């Protein structure tokens, strides 16, 4: 599972994935060869009994190792791929811990310094499943809707409080070919493709550099979200059936565990 946070120094990527390093090179943001990834997210959502001290400890650790963080990318995700009533409670809780709650704790840890410096960029990797409900992804959709809503609400806070140096980018990609949704397919791959990681990363890096608030990939998602807002539920359901949205998870096998 990828680390819940990518810590990024000013104009230098410090964390996972290396693909961001590669795609950022042309933009002049490739890290120095002696810099090491900074993986700090897990402690924040695993040590629940002493979170307030965790924020301070982790923020201090990262500040010592890489300095103040300019860009925070919450990237972790897990999926159970089970129908809601078949999903054990502990897996539902884990989905929320990783897909949503980790965002709360990393924001708590790093947003204060960004506000103090009046400079920072918060990046939420949500999902197209954070825009509409998907059959077989009830817990995943709920956690991604929560992540989207939280990031959007914090963005509204920064605007209302005139913290114009704090930027937000909320990313909602379709399926990405990382193995997490192994076996899933779309009925019309030319319209709704399974995205290659390199392509998705390029789009995300460009959105950050251009300070876009919302990034949906592929672009057809913008149109589909618009249609959802104006069509009746009956017509929208028929459209989802035609596009095969209800059957995306039919072949799901998930990411294979390493021996």
Contact 101, 213 (CB under 8 A): no
CA distance 45 to 47: 6
- What sign does the dihedral 132-214-69-163 (CA atoms) show? negative
Q: Which residue has the tokens 């965002």?
A: 103
SS3 157: helix
214 is catalytic: no
The DSSP-derived string for 190-227 is TTSPPBPHHHHHHHHHHHHHTT-SEEEESTHHHHHHHH
Distances (CA, A) of 86 to 80, 83, 146, 251: 10, 5, 21, 17
Token pair listed for 24? 């950022």
**Which helix H or strand E contains 71, and what residues bound it?**
strand 71-74
Q: 140, 199, 214, 242: which is the annotated catalytic residue? A: 140
Active site residues: 140
């Amino acid at each position: 599972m990828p680390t819940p946070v990518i810590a990024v120094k000013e104009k230098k990527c410090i964390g996972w994935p290396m693909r961001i390093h590669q795609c950022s090179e042309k933009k002049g943001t490739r890290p120095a060869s002696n810099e090491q990834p900074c993986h700090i997210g897990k402690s924040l959502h695993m040590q629940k009994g002493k979170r307030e001290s965790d924020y301070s400890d982790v923020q201090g650790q990262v500040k010592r190792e890489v300095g103040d963080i300019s860009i925070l990318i919450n990237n972790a995700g897990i999926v159970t791929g089970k129908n809601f009533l078949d999903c054990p409670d502990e897996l539902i809780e884990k989905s929320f811990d990783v897909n949503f709650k980790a965002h709360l704790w990393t924001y708590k840890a790093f947003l204060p310094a960004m506000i103090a410096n009046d400079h920072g960029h918060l990046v939420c990797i949500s999902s197209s499943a954070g825009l509409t409900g998907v059959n077989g992804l009830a817990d995943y959709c709920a956690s991604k809707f929560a992540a989207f809503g939280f990031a959007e609400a914090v963005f509204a806070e920064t605007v209302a409080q005139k913290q114009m140096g704090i930027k937000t980018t909320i990313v909602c990609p379709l399926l990405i070919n990382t193995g997490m949704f192994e076996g899933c397919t779309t009925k019309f791959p030319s319209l709704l493709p399974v995205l290659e990681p390199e392509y998705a990363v390029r789009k995300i890096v460009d959105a950050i550099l251009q300070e876009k608030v919302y990034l949906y990939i592929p672009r057809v998602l913008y149109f589909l979200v618009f249609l959802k807002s104006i069509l009746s539920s009956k017509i929208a359901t028929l459209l989802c059936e035609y596009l095969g949205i209800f059957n995306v998870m039919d072949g799901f096998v998930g990411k294979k565990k390493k021996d």
